[in-house]
Amino acid sequence: MPTASGHTDAIQASRVIGADVYNTNGERIGEIKDVMLEKTSSGIMFAIVGFGGFLGIGEKYHAVPWSSLDYDVDAGGYVVPFSKEKLEAAPSYSVNELTKDDGILARDQAYDYYGVQPYWH
Amino acid sequence: MPTASGHTDAIQASRVIGADVYNTNGERIGEIKDVMLEKTSSGIMFAIVGFGGFLGIGEKYHAVPWSSLDYDVDAGGYVVPFSKEKLEAAPSYSVNELTKDDGILARDQAYDYYGVQPYWH
């Protein structure tokens, strides 16, 4: 059910893709390029946040735990509870690196790096 | 890891959206319009499969358990282990009906109707 602030707990993937992502300073760090979905667990592995690059060249990707993304209506995008410094020092990947081995390495590194409770057992 | 047939366990949401869906008879039943994502559980609630309608009018939607969708390279889309009759008799919804109450009603009805083991506890 929507909370008093209007937030809901469920969202369509098509609405997530392309949304902006902000850090705790309110600075835009990038946008959600995609969301990695796992079949056997029906788990949302992570959001793929693209950042950097110029005119489409050199963009790198972060894997960000899905549960860390809070939609902020005022910001018009997602806020993650991580500082600029924390995000800048996070592991980054090419698309191939993110998706090889079914994304498990990127997922495990992300949850470990950000200290987020795993959704899996 | 990819299986011998090349199937992987993880996929990007952007690649799922727009994919065709087939029943056990090999008949195309519709396409995946979207995937509903739940924040607190990091769970993939269901795929939204659009079917019917004409020239964009009158389309209805099924909620199909994510774990029921098997990507078939030869078919170039997803196969669900349900017959044409089973699918045709399934609950259908408008978009509003699917997304109200955070999709919980549609999810519970779908898992119950198709007899699929819930991913949640």
Number of domains in chain B: 1
A59 part of a folded domain = yes
Alpha carbon distances (Å) from B7 to B1, B2, B11, B52, B78: 8, 5, 10, 29, 12
B3 part of a folded domain = no
A62 part of a folded domain = yes
Q: pLDDT by residue (tens digit) across A4-21? A: 445 578 999 999 999 999
Give the whole-angstrom CA distance, residue B49 versus residue B19.
10
Of B9, B17, B67, the CB nearest to A13: B17
The continuous run of DSSP H or E covering B11 comes out as: strand B10-12
pTM given for the model: 0.89
- Check residues A57 and B115 and name the one with the higher pLDDT: B115
Chain A residue nearest residue B12, CA to CA: A36
Q: What ipTM, to 2 d.p.? A: 0.88
- As a whole number of Å, the end-to-end CA separation of chain B is 27
| Pair type for strands B60-64 and A60-64 | unpaired
B119 touches chain A (CB under 8 A): yes
Domain of residue A104 covers 13-110
B4 part of a folded domain = no
**Distance between B8 CA and the closest CA of chain A, angstroms:** 7
Portion of chain B with pLDDT greater than 90, in percent:
58
B57 part of a folded domain = yes
| Count of alpha carbons within 13 angstroms of residue A31, beta-carbon side | 10
A89 part of a folded domain = yes
B42 part of a folded domain = yes
Q: pLDDT by residue (tens digit) across A18-35? A: 999 999 889 998 999 999
Residue B100 has a pLDDT of: 83
Contact A60, A94 (CB under 8 A): yes
Residue A4 has a pLDDT of: 41
A118 part of a folded domain = no
Q: pLDDT by residue (tens digit) across B2-47? A: 444 455 789 999 999 999 999 988 999 899 999 999 988 899 999 9
Chain B residue nearest residue A10, CA to CA: B38
> What is the CATH number for A92?
2.30.30.240
Residues of B in contact with A111 (CB under 8 A): none
A95 touches chain B (CB under 8 A): no
Average pLDDT over residues A82-88: 89
